[in-house]
Amino acid sequence: MGWFYPFAFLVGSILVFMGLGLPVAFAFFITNIIGLFLFFGGATGVTQMVANFSDAVSTYALAPLPMFLVMGSLYFRSGLGEKVIYALDLAIGNLRGRLSYVVLAAGAVFAALSGSSLANAGMMGSLMAPEMLRRNYKPHMAYGPILGAGSLAVIIPPSSLGVLLGSLAQIDVGALLIAGVIPGLLLVMMFGVLIFVQTKIDPEAAPQYPVPQTSGMEKLKAVLVNIIPMGFLVFMVVGTIILGIATPTESAGLGCAGVALLLVVYRKFSWRVLWKSLDDAMKVTGMTFLIISASTTFSQIFAFSGASSGFIQFITGFDMGPFGILFMMIVVILILGMFMDQVSMMLITLPIFMPIAMQYGFDTVWFGLMLLLAYEVGFTTPPFGMLLFIMLGVAPKGTSLKTVALSAAPYIALTLLLIVLIAIFPQIALFLPSLI
């Protein structure tokens, strides 16, 4: 059990420092420095850590990340998202629970354009939640679809979290992004069925109300003007990867160019919007690169100290089989998701989980996609799910965390069901990557 002491020290230190309120990157750096002196030769190890910085962030797989962030920020800051919601609202018509369906459809579109769950939920929460409550929608019909649709950006490409996971776990980023298309669409359909069932069980949860009559031609025009161009953007980002026309980095560049072109066409372009979008991307990218640098050194210390190999031997010593190991890892992520953000969970779990996955011969794209879905659940699990707090920020004063969390519960259950389906039927995740 000589591996247990470095394992407990390294993982425990990270948890303690983050529990004290230190930012994730600094918690890792302090643990790394202490670990370097204990297990890695002291000053020589610190020199190695500094040398890791440039190697860690100069990985080609990370290149799409800032461009996807710029693309999403341009899209939201310009107001193009509001046009999509308007067109979807016209197209859906006077259906019971229509605003819940609008939120779900808009969330799927935004997920394919932004890559950010927080931006997705924040925009729809601020635009749609007040209107839904004004129309006497019950809380679970107002908050639930926003939380469910907001989390779609984790799985539907371009996912910024997917790019980060692929880089940290050394998984083919392009394959991982494309693997999320079918599960993402399947999740949208499952959420749609949930909304339908909820309105059937309790029709008053989403009361119908008079809406202006709109001709088929007006609906068609709204879709052609406001939604079809977004489909063009989705093709530039996702379609070009599937067809082998572009790498993820090139598709991210095409996506940025496509959004900029739409801003000019819709007369939404301004230097202020551009600067703000670049500023948003710079802040997130800078912090992400700092975290990746810290994580790289942490993984090296973890392996050099013997904690990694010892833990793998300990786990594989149990006769649980591949699915038992997979189940255990997903449960660990779900528990951590109650207390940590997604990046923190990735940095702690990937150095432990990926060697175990390799030991059992898991397909890395299949395994990585299930991890992404498990991390996604952490966005909406109490007490510290980030999307819950975004929802509380736009909800009426006096709304409790319990109310918002219960609204998200059915959507969490469906996401967990999807993880089970992917585990049983791997082709749900692997069919599209096999075509690349």
Task: Tell me the DSSP string of 10-24.
Answer: HHHHHHHHHHTT--H
- What pLDDT is recorded for position 340? 67
pTM of the model: 0.78
Cβ atoms of residues 380 and 151 within 8 Å: yes
Task: Tokens 């940025």: give the residue.
Answer: 256
Residue 149 tokens, joined: 């649709």
Phi, psi dihedrals of residue 95, rounded to the nearest 5°: -100, 140
Question: 125: Cβ–Cβ under 8 A, 6 or more apart, which residues?
Answer: 146, 150, 390, 391, 393, 394
- What pLDDT is recorded for position 43? 67
Amino acid at 47: T
Question: 298: Cβ–Cβ under 8 A, 6 or more apart, which residues?
Answer: 10, 14, 28, 31, 32, 35, 347, 351
Task: Tokens 């739409």: give the residue.
Answer: 262
Q: Please name which of 297, 46, 35 lies closest in space to residue 168, comparing C-alpha atoms.
A: 297
Q: Please name which of 191, 122, 110, 227 lies closest in space to residue 158, comparing C-alpha atoms.
A: 110
Residue 236 tokens, joined: 């530039």
- What pLDDT is recorded for position 17? 82
How many residues are given for the chain?
436
Q: Which residues of the chain have pLDDT under 50?
A: none
Separation between Cα atoms, residue 115 and residue 143, nearest integer Å: 21
HSE toward the beta carbon, residue 319, CA cutoff 13 A: 0
Cβ atoms of residues 142 and 205 within 8 Å: no
Separation between Cα atoms, residue 230 and residue 394, nearest integer Å: 26
- What pLDDT is recorded for position 370? 94
Question: 50: Cβ–Cβ under 8 A, 6 or more apart, which residues?
Answer: none
Helices (H), 40-78: 43-57, 64-78
Q: Where are the domains of the chain?
A: 4-435
